[in-house]
Amino acid sequence: MLNSFILYLSTEKRYSEHTIEAYERDLSQFIDYAEIKAIKDFGDLSSTFIRGWIVRLFEEKKKAKSINRKLAALRTFYKWLRKEQIVSNNPMTKIQGPKNEKRLPAFAKESELDSEKLNDLFVDSLDGKRDKLMFELFYQTGIRLSELIDLRVQNVTNDSIKVLGKRNKERIIPISNNLSKQLWSYIHLKNRHCGESTYVFSLKFGKKLYPMFVYRKINQYLSMATSLDKKSPHVLRHTFATHMLNRGTGLETLKDLLGHANLSATQVYTHNSFAQLTSIYSQTHPRGGKK
């Protein structure tokens, strides 16, 4: 039933594989709830019925963020149904999702990621060099997990990497001379021991990395280096952004480095940066301390 829509998301909308899988899963759950038998049946549903689904999701203890993602899938699906003239009614025009909780991104302190301290965490082996390089790439470039996994050797130069982000948008991220040397050293070492591979990072026999493998590795090293409750590759992306802002990077520049579609997604990091400024002010200004 959803095959044509999934093809549309992949070829015309150029959504990522991860997003397509999430949309397909969410729509399948809605189809089960609504007991849809044929695609034309979507035209018979009302906004009241969909609000009932939202209530059910809350009863199932689903979070607002998860509910809004499901509504986004349904909203995109109805737009496609209208475009294909399968239905004339779009109940989603009257649906407003719940407000998401505003949580500040977790990030590590600069002192916790001191290069000398980090060096002691990684063993001197091919796997150890791979893990260290993955950690450094996340922290020094702010790339996403999927972007690291898909990073190809041909897109690495002596001063930059080119990554494929959301909506298949390419962006070029500058890298330091030291990070460039680490990259090429690892690539040459890996080629000697495991054979050449299209991807910078790979498992044995050139097999592509998978998300949970990378997640577990980064979680392991962040647990050793920081006291954070949340530990993931995305925390290093948040850390990259926060440390850049704290050292004077402009929002527009940071937006481009992170590959955000609009500035509102980048502005969340200003809260962390302001907290840093407040801390510095209270510690350094003669009358800045608490009474």
Residues recognised as catalytic: 144, 166, 234, 237, 260, 269
Per the DSSP assignment, residues forming a β-bridge with 174 are 160
Q: Which residues contact 117 (CB under 8 A, 6 or more apart)?
A: 225
Buried b (16+ CB within 10 A) or exposed e, 52-86: ebbeebeeeebeeeebbbbbbbbbbbbebbeeeee
Per the DSSP assignment, residues forming a β-bridge with 170 are 164
